[in-house]
Each structure stands twice: as structure tokens, then as C-alpha cells.
């Protein structure tokens, strides 16, 4: 059975475990590198949870973590969906769907007018997931990737 659990700062070891699994599994999907995080200590892991009105959720199957996602406030007042990942063994069963819905619900609770995200171009499954939930591409310039040329693609969904 699939359950979602919102984590707090004291859950940082669990977040660390799943986030490192994501960075090791899908380096093509994230700006952060596994090597940037593997030796980081408690304070840096906890910092993520100390951002006001942030939301960090893990997906559990039979109490085993199989995915995660975050919601963060943006400077422009919208919400941002970040760090979405589902372990390879759990893909294709609606876990990504549940994580996107959970972050969208957080954004609505936080009275955000829109939810944005940045995806690395060419990440077909992720773009398909976001389009499935009504996100559309914007002209906003995403962050420059380490190759110094490519930029992330920014997508947005307006929230009622």
C-alpha cells in the first residue's frame, strides 16, 4: 500500500537516505550532484526543513521509502515543486502522480497562485508527468546547467 508522509526537521536522516538514493539513481534529472551531498552533515540536511512554509514529503510502500518531492515558496510568491523522484522499482504505478498532487495541495493550502517547477530538457518521463497534471512550459529562463549552455525548462500550473 502506498502512503505519503510529510517530514519534519527531526526526520532529516530519512530524507537524507531517500534524497541520496535519488541523486545516485538519476543524476540526469537534478542540478544537485550526489557528490555535493554525500558527506554533508546534519546541519545542512536540516536547513531544508527550516525554510518557512516548505513541504517535504516521502512516498512509502509497505513502510519502505520509494519516492520524494518538495514544495518551496518562491520569491515571486508562487510555489515551486522540486526534487521529485520515484525509485526505478516503483515507477509506473502512480507514485509520481501522488507526489505531484501532494505538493499541489500544499501550494493550495499556502494560498499560492501558481505552482512552478524546473525540469531538465530531454527528461521525457518527468515532462510527461507534469503535462499530465496540467503544467505548461513558460518562456522563463531556468537555471544554467553545468555544461554552461543548457537551461532548465520552467513549467507552471495556475491554481484556483
Ligand X SMILES: CC(C)(COP(=O)(O)OP(=O)(O)OC[C@H]1O[C@@H](n2cnc3c(N)ncnc32)[C@H](O)[C@@H]1OP(=O)(O)O)[C@@H](O)C(=O)NCCC(=O)NCCS
Instruction: List residues binding ligand X (CB under 6 A).
Output: 26, 29, 84-86, 91-97, 119, 123, 125-126, 128-129, 132
How far apart are CB 72 and ligand X at their closest, in Å?
14
In the complex with ligand X, which residue's Cβ is closer, 7 or 102? Answer: 102
How far apart are CB 133 and ligand X at their closest, in Å?
8
Bridge-based pairing state of the strands 114-119 and 79-86: parallel
How far apart are CB 47 and ligand X at their closest, in Å?
21
Burial of 60 (0-12, 13-18, 19+ CB in 10 A): middle
In the complex with ligand X, which residue's Cβ is closer, 7 or 84? Answer: 84
In the complex with ligand X, which residue's Cβ is closer, 123 or 137? Answer: 123
Question: Residue 69 in contact with residue 99, Cβ under 8 Å?
Answer: yes
DSSP string, 19-80: HHHHHHH-GGG-SS-HHHHTT--HHHHHHGGGSTT-EEEEEEETTEEEEEEEEEE-TTS-EE
In the complex with ligand X, which residue's Cβ is closer, 107 or 119? Answer: 119
How far apart are CB 10 and ligand X at their closest, in Å?
26
Amino acid at each position: 500500500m502506498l502512503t505519503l508522509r510529510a517530514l519534519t526537521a527531526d526526520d532529516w536522516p530519512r530524507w537524507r537516505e531517500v534524497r541520496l538514493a535519488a541523486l545516485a539513481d538519476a543524476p540526469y534529472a537534478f542540478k544537485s550532484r550526489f557528490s555535493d551531498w554525500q558527506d554533508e552533515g546534519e546541519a545542512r540536511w536540516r536547513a531544508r526543513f527550516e525554510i518557512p512554509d516548505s513541504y517535504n514529503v516521502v512516498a512509502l510502500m509497505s513502510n519502505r521509502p520509494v519516492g520524494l518531492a518538495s514544495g518551496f515558496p518562491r520569491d515571486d510568491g508562487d510555489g515551486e515543486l522540486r526534487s521529485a523522484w520515484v525509485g526505478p522499482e516503483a515507477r509506473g504505478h502512480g507514485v509520481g502522480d501522488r507526489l505531484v498532487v501532494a505538493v499541489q495541495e500544499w501550494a493550495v493550502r499556502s494560498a499560492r497562485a501558481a505552482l512552478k517547477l524546473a525540469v531538465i530538457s530531454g527528461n521525457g518521463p518527468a515532462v510527461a508527468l507534469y503535462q499530465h497534471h496540467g503544467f505548461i512550459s513558460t518562456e522563463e529562463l531556468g537555471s544554467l546547467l553545468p555544461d554552461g549552455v543548457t537551461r532548465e525548462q520552467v513549467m507552471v500550473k495556475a491554481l484556483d
